[in-house]
Every structure is written in structure tokens, then in C-alpha cells.
Amino acid sequence: MPMTMSRARVARRIATAAAFGGGGVGLLGVAAVGVLLTEVRLARRTVGGSSDIPPCADGRYGAAFSHRTDRPPLRLGFLGDSTAAGQGVHRPSQTPGALLASGLAALSELPVDFRNVALPGAQSDDLARQVELMLADGAATPDVCVIMIGANDVTHRMAPAQSVRHLAEAVRRLRAAGCEVIVGTCPDLGTIEPVYQPLRWVARRLSRQLAAAQTIGVIESGGRTVSLGDLLGPEFEARPRELFGPDNYHPSAEGYATAAMAVLPTLCASLGLWPEEERPEPARGEGLLPVEQAAAEAASEGGTEVTASRAPWALLKHRRRRQLPEPEPTDPSSVTG
């Protein structure tokens, strides 16, 4: 609890600095930064990297539902970095976007038009460009967008307040255009298998702190968050060979499925399609908490949703997961732009 409260206070300072245009909030001393940079150089020799172009999964999912309804398709957009793009797998059906589009189609019983503008290597300052691309065709504005961002901000030492400011602005622009927004917060970089101490501890601390600050910025901008940090923690630490891809950095197909299963309930709930009430179940560790406390707790437990309630409160949810359907082949011509 003391650690959670400390993280909550720092996250609030970062989010406040982001809102008022401040710079970074120092999370590490000079000596620690020196150690971190030394360890990063060593880790880069061990951790693989991938220059492969992620498979394109754009298109229509659940096309069979078109024959059962005269309702228009749902539109799902994806923004962010290599995790959002699906780097590390080779088939479109293995990407998180395809998995979520297929799951959304199955639960809504509607076709889903999916479009992904995520860019491998992107940091949060690229989100403005991605939002422009996503909203360029006003007639095809997404009903809901998923953003996955933050890991490159940590590894490239972007000031946390700057990172949160870019993300919050992207959420506000999408919400103003009529999109629901779900943000998968910064993953826990301490789960990367070849990274050793003390870098593992530092990476975990930095990524969780950014995730908590991201949550505050997103909630106060009208979006929802799902923690990807510890979500890729117990599973990834216990079975890294299965859940990390060949480059030991990006998730494998099973790893992306694990992440997508956690995001799907929140994605559907944002559209009123999830069969759980929007209220806390105390027996499941859910509750109404101050926003910064909810953000700090979510950063420590993967798959945790944070949704705005009456200010200054937020709803902390642990939604029940469902097995994802196997994505079907898509019709690329169904999505324009």
C-alpha cells in the first residue's frame, strides 16, 4: 500500500505537469540513470530486435453478419507503436487488432471495419500524426479506437509529462470526433527475459510509473484504460518462451492473444456491449477510488480497467475475460483510407 500511494502521488505530479505544459518529473537520480544507460547498452546486445514489417490486418471482420442485419458496420481504429501494429507475428490473424476486431464482431453480431495506423518504433509524440490519419475521412470516423503506447517513451527517455501530454491530447481529439477511446497503458518492461538487474527493476519502476500517469491523463480526457503492465507480467515471466516472440522483445501470437483477451471486455463495455454492470463488485477487488490511486493500483495488476466516475473518483474493474474467436479472413477493400 505505501508503494501504491507513493506511485499515485508521483503519477499525479506527472499528470499535473502534463496538463500545465511542464517538463519532466525526475524519477531517478543521476547515479541511477548512469547505471541504467550502462545496462541498456548491454541489454541491447542480448535482446533481439525486429525490422520485419507487421502484417496488415485492415479489413472487414464478421462479414457474415452483414446478411443478418441492416445496421451499419462498427468501425474500430488502432493507434500506437509496434505492439499495436502487431510486430513480431507473421499472419494478420495473429495481431491484436485482428483479434479484437473479430471478438467485437462476434459479441456485437455486427460486421467490424478495422483500420490500423500504428507505427513500429513510435513514441507518444507521433500520436498527433496518427490521429490525423485516423480522422482524415470524416465519413468513416471510428466508433472506438484502441491506443497502445509508452514502451518507446521509456526506452528513449522521453519526459513523462511530455509523454502523457501527447497521449491526453490524442484522446481528447478522438473523443471530440465522437470516438470511444481505450488505452492499453505502458507495458511492464521488467518482464523482458534477457534484461537483468538492476535494469529490470529500473525498467519496471519507470514503466509502471508512466502507466499510472497515462491513466490519469486518459481518464481526465474522457477515455478508459486497461493495464498491459502486469498483464504481460505473470504470464510472460512464467512462460517467456511461449509469450515472447523470436526477437525476445515483442509478444508472440499467444502473447498478443493474452493482451487482446484483457482489452476486449473494456472495448465492448465502452460501446454498451459487455454483459456486466458498470458498477464495482467488491468481492472481485473492484471499487470507486481517487483517480490517482486507481491508476497506481491498475499499473500493478494487468488487465485492470479504469473508467471515469464522478470527479475525482474512478471505477476500478477486473472484468471477466472470454476466449477470443479465431479471426476470419478479411476483405481489405471494405476499409478505405
Cβ contacts of 91 within 8 Å, gap of 6 or more: 55, 253
The answer to whether residues 101 and 76 touch, using CB atoms and an 8 Å cutoff, is yes
Between the alpha carbon of residue 237 and those of residues 45, 194, 195, 230, the distances in Å are 20, 11, 12, 10
Catalytic residues: 82, 247, 250
Cβ contacts of 263 within 8 Å, gap of 6 or more: 96, 100, 146, 182, 184, 226
Between the alpha carbon of residue 180 and those of residues 73, 168, 290, 305, the distances in Å are 15, 14, 22, 14
Please, which residues bridge with residue 140 across strands?
A: none
CA–CA dist 55, 84 (Å, integer): 11
